[in-house]
Structure 1
Amino acid sequence: MKWTVLQLQKFRDVELEIDKLVDVSQDLMKRDSEIRDASPIHVTGTARIDSRKVVFHLHLTGQLILPCSRTLDDVTYPINIHSTETFILKPVEYSPNDDEEIHEPDEGVVDLIPVIEELILLEVPLQVISETAKNTETLQAGRDWEVMTEDQFKLEQQRTTNIDPRLSGLAALLKDKKE
């Protein structure tokens, strides 16, 4: 998925169709230790080329293998990314929009692989929970610790903040001493 600027200029004012499988699994696993594996990424889209810039409209699909946050089992996480990436060919003549992500060719070569890797890494969630972990009623526990759901935590907080009405007088005395 590399083109020289001269190769791209041959497609000026014509849409360049992109439909390719790219294997970036090794690079993704090096850059993010949470990624255990990745399927080849199917990259489709178009590129519009003019004298100043190349605009890629990309659609990336594939799958990542990530660890479950609760059980550390492998979870297949689908990737479905739509992105528009702009490479400027003549930096002096081009002023980007505020919301536009721009890239520059590296030594006269437009390379989409680093862009694809970055887009995928930005899509990796902080937590992935497998279906079996979601459906399990009992959460992990150990000596003097246990995993709670948010609802269980809120109930526990309410129990500790509610003072027994018989001890409310004592609570008032303790507040006076603290002040």
Structure 2
Amino acid sequence: MRWTVLQLQKFRDVELKIDEKVDVSNDLRQRDLEIRDASPIHVKGTARIDSQKAVFHLHLTGNLILPCSRTLVDVTYPIDIFSTETFILKPLGFEYSSDEEQEIHEANEGVVDLIPVIEELILLEIPMQVISEDAKNKETLQSGQDWEVMTEDQFKLEQQKPKIDPRLAGLAALLKDKKE
């Protein structure tokens, strides 16, 4: 997934087809400790090259292994990303258009490398929380010492119950005895 500018210029005015699998799992694990593993990423797409720039239309598919936010078990998270990436081949004399919303990359020392771009696209797709199917389907909610997770209905029922200050519970018991 690396080409020199000279190699890309051979494809000028001809569509370059891309259909490769790349293994970026080690780099992804180093950049984000939440990623436990990644399958080889299937990169499909095309590139249009002219004298000043190369425009890549990419489709990335693969799987990431991420921890479940509730139980920390491994969850397979599928990724399916479409992106358009533009590389400037000759930075001098290239005019940037401010109305374009796409990010523009420069060829680094005469080399266009898609691997860092692919890694960045994958990292941006990782959700804040991943929940395993077991955790979603689990009927019992979690609880601990002096706390518990409850549904909204359970919360409303709890709010409707009369509350007695624990410091005055003994006094409430005495008042009950007097009424009887």
Q: Same fold (TM over 0.5)?
A: yes
Q: CA deviation at 1:146?
A: 2.1
The answer for the alignment partner of 2:114 in structure 1 is 112
The answer for the alignment partner of 1:145 in structure 2 is 147
The residue correspondences of 1:1-179 to structure 2 (distance < 5 A) are 1-91=1-91, 92-96=93-97, 97-148=99-150, 152-153=151-152, 156=155, 160=159
Q: Distance in 2 between matches of 1:35 and 1:163?
A: 45
The code of the aligned residue for 1:64 comes to: L
Assess if the C-alpha contact under 8 Å between 1:60 and 1:79 holds in 2: yes
Assess if the C-alpha contact under 8 Å between 1:88 and 1:94 holds in 2: no
CA root-mean-square deviation: 1.8
1:64-119 Cα offsets, whole Å, 9 max, x none, are 00011111111000010000000012233232343121000111100000000000
Q: Distance in 2 between matches of 1:154 and 1:127?
A: 24
The answer for the alignment partner of 1:171 in structure 2 is none
Q: How many residues align?
A: 160
Assess if the C-alpha contact under 8 Å between 1:52 and 1:94 holds in 2: no
Secondary structure of 1:93 counterpart: coil
- The alignment's TM-score, normalised by the length of structure 1, stands at 0.83
Q: Distance in 2 between matches of 1:108 and 1:154?
A: 63
Q: CA deviation at 1:57?
A: 0.2
Q: Distance in 1 between matches of 2:15 and 2:9?
A: 11
Secondary structure of 2:129 counterpart: coil
The code of the aligned residue for 1:156 comes to: F
Q: CA deviation at 1:163?
A: 10
Larger radius of gyration: 2
